[in-house]
Amino acid sequence: MTNEPSEAQIAVHWREEAYYPPTAKFIAQANAADPDILERFSEPNFPECFKEYADLLSWDKYWHTTLDTTDPPFWKWFVGGRLNACYNCVDRHLTTSRNRAALIWVPEPESEQTSAITYQELYRRVNEFAALLRDFGGVRTGDRVTFHLPMVPELPVSMLACARLGVIHSEVFGGFSGAACGGRVADSGSNILVTMDGYYRNGELVDHKVKADEAVATARELGHEVDKVLVWRRHPNSYASKSPMVEGRDFFIDDLLPDFRGAVVEPVSMPAEAPLFLMYTSGTTGRPKGCQHSTGGYLAYVAGTSKYYQDIHPEDTYWCAADIGWITGHSYIVYGPLALGTTSVLYEGVPTYPDPGRLWRIAERLGVNIFHTAPTTIRMLRKVGPDESAKYRYRFKHMTTVGEPIEPEVWRWYHDVVGKGEAAIVDTWWQTETGGFLGSTLPALQPMKPGSCGPGVLGIYPVIYDEDGETIEAGSDRAGNICIRNPWPGIFQTIWGQPERFVDIYYSKYNRRNSTDWQDWPYFAGDGAVQAADGYFRILGRVDDVINVAGHRLGTKELESAALTVNEIAEAAAVPVMDEVRGRAVEMYVALKPGLSAGAGIEAKVSEAIVREIGKIARPKSVWIVTDMPKTRSGKIMRRVIAGISNFTDVGDVTTLANPEIVDDIRHHVQSEKLTRGEVPRDLSPQEAEEIKSFGRAE
Ligand code: PRX
């Protein structure tokens, strides 16, 4: 630890925002309009309150223990219960809603037909693919299968097919590189990789299968062999990739499926505690973390929060415009909405393709009445098409913002312009690890406040601690580390294969006693936050070494190790820089090996290495070559100093550095170049300034 001020000492000042009440029309139809629900989920009723969520599901066998805390923090929910997630999302809706659209898929090219997949059709597709995975792929209950799939219906079909078999799926975001996918294949021990030949992005049919070859090669370097690569084709019978199919390893799924026509696979009855899927995310060290989510607890939690917070009714047309490759898509495109038997819309492409009106055209055409997206998309649409939504006659009753803090100004635009002043908004704060929402207003019962997510959601009791574990009181205007005092059904079970790291990262900081009392094991979320006197939380961002770019978590260590794959680079440091649209962008600082001088496209090499190792989302905004990094006497790179330079803010006290003289050199070099490029600095808000000042503090 350093001598930096702790979060507890940081005073935060901002204007209190006015409340926005939900409309009477919204309240009249809301799933959670009766204030009794708040009482039912109050602390004295914990953990039994979560029975209300679990009862939304169909159980093969009812559980005997709601929460088992005998082995903290490895909580077990609904112990003794058995169920199948696919049965709950598909089969059980056949009796009442066979012909309702489960999914509506919108391809990116407007010349291609939008397709509605009914629950009956989904049932057929899932069964056939499950039979293929089992009989051709040879997978068994408990095995892992990795997907590297874009936003096509084949992705939920593949997820549900695995769930039907009790096979653990691990979807890697389609935009991630082959190397990143390969690392996750090896870590999860998947023998099968499911991919697609290509998909549309920004008007282009992207070659995607080529990444599967890279993934298999990376996994091999890590000592793991992939037996089969199963390839969906974007247009059946027509191959969109230049990458050759490897004999005996690669197979077109559309060639194999006719053998399984009409197959029926019995859903495997799984213990509530069986893992349903892995979702990898970035953390404080290089190795990605495979967050392991359970079957019963997770499904109950996403069904319950989808009902009360997304206000989903079966007859709604619900559209979450996130990517299923992230947790948001797993919980709130696939599992939550389908468990409730509603219609969930999937869009393949870029929100602004071919023009900034695209999303609103889709919403109007399909009659979407619930809309869900991230601040990055909202900021972008506000910038490039502020008047577009007014041209379309859709009506949203409810909208969500998720993934990053949203600026009050942007929130108001979302409310007034996109929501036409009618939609109730929820700003949902949560994480890959948490399975579902942690902080949000309950849309019919609690007023909205721009920039604040709201109080803890039903059954979640957050608290803000300072570095010493003392509670920071609501209304004190002081920031600290937000934690959740209690377990909840959606919490991940462990980091795949790394249980010690799980305990260490999320629980060791504030664990008080090694007891089996859950009260001694608060969950450390890794976010800074402030609680206003009304109990609403404002999330300030990560306190660890994670940079949130357009709602995607990128670990500084991952970025730095990618940069170090470039031969000339001796040292690398990644820092966030404020970005008008993406919230934060990445800037890389690199020092060359002795004797080498800048030039010869080193910046481009570093960028390419990052795109190759992680993916395009991580491409740095700038790469700065420096003669040396600012370091502490013990040799640690002071990221907050270079972050301050990149953001034109105060770099703080540098007198304790081993090489304070370097700071002015770097500042001069970087800032004059930025000004030449027209990157005019803007004033940072107090929270933003604080984030920069404390960046890298967790190390
Ligand atoms: O810093 C918080 C931010 O996103 C992080 C979680 O990222 P990820 O695991 O990728 O999950 C994103 C989808 C839930 C959090 O630690 N974050 C998420 N939602 C919000 C948020 N920050 C502010 N407001 C939010 N609503």
Instruction: Return the pLDDT at 477.
Output: 84
> Given this model, what pLDDT does residue 369 score?
98
pLDDT reported for residue 5: 40
457-493 pLDDT tens trace: 999 999 999 999 999 999 998 889 999 999 999 999 9
Name the residue with higher pLDDT: 690 or 109: 109
With a 6 A CB cut-off, is 404 part of the ligand 1 pocket?
yes
pLDDT at site 557: 85
Among protein residues, the one whose CA lies closest to atom 6 of ligand 1: 431
Distance 497 CA to ligand 1 centre (A): 24
Q: Would you say residue 516 has pLDDT above 80?
A: yes
Assess whether pLDDT exceeds 60 at residue 443: yes
Q: Is the beta carbon of 553 within 6 A of some atom in ligand 1?
A: yes
Position 14 scores a pLDDT of 59
Does the beta carbon of 305 lie inside 6 Å of ligand 1? Answer: no
Q: Which residue has the higher pLDDT, 181 or 653?
A: 181
How many angstroms separate the first and last alpha carbons of the chain? 7
**pLDDT exceeds 90 at position 540:** no
Q: What is the pLDDT of residue 635?
A: 77
Bond into 354 cis (ω within 30): yes
Residue found by looking up tokens 């409309």 in the block: 23
C-alpha 508 to ligand 1 mean position (Å): 21
Other C-beta atoms within 10 Å of 141: how many? 12
Angle at 215 between CA 210 and CA 219, to 5 degrees: 155
431 lines ligand 1 (CB under 6 A): yes
What percentage of residues in the chain have a pLDDT greater than 70?
97
Take atom 7 of ligand 1 and give the residue whose Cα is closest: 431
| 364-381 mean pLDDT | 96
Could you read off the pLDDT of 159-177 as tens digits, one per residue? 999 999 999 999 999 999 9
Residue 1 Cα, ligand 1 centroid: separation in angstroms? Answer: 25
Q: Dump the DSSP string for 400-444.
A: EEESS---HHHHHHIIIIISTTT-EEEEEB--GGGSS-SB---TT
Average pLDDT, rounded, for the chain:
94
608-658 residue pLDDT tens: 999 999 999 999 999 999 999 998 877 788 899 999 999 999 888 888 888
Report which ligand 1 atom has the smallest distance to the Cα of 453. 26
Ligand 1 pocket residue status of 295, Cβ below 6 Å: no
The 10s digit of each residue's pLDDT in 290-318 is 999 999 999 999 999 999 999 999 999 99
What residues contact 661, with CB distance under 8 A and at least 6 apart?
A: none
Average pLDDT rounded to a whole number, residues 186-192: 98
Residues 697 and 653: their CA atoms lie apart, in Å, by: 14
Q: What is the pLDDT of residue 10?
A: 47
Q: What per-residue string of b and e applies to 84-108 under the rule 16 or more CB within 10 Å gives b? A: bbbbbbbbbbeeebeebbbbbbbbb
Torsions phi, psi of 617, nearest 5? -60, -20
Q: Does residue 538's CB lie within 6 angstroms of at least one atom of ligand 1?
A: no
**Ligand 1 center to 312 CA (angstroms):** 22
For residues 637 and 81, which has the higher predicted lDDT (pLDDT)?
81
pLDDT for the residue 13:
52
Q: What is the pLDDT of residues 567-607, one digit of tens each?
A: 999 899 999 999 989 999 999 999 998 888 877 799 999 99
Is the CB of 402 within 6 Å of ligand 1? yes
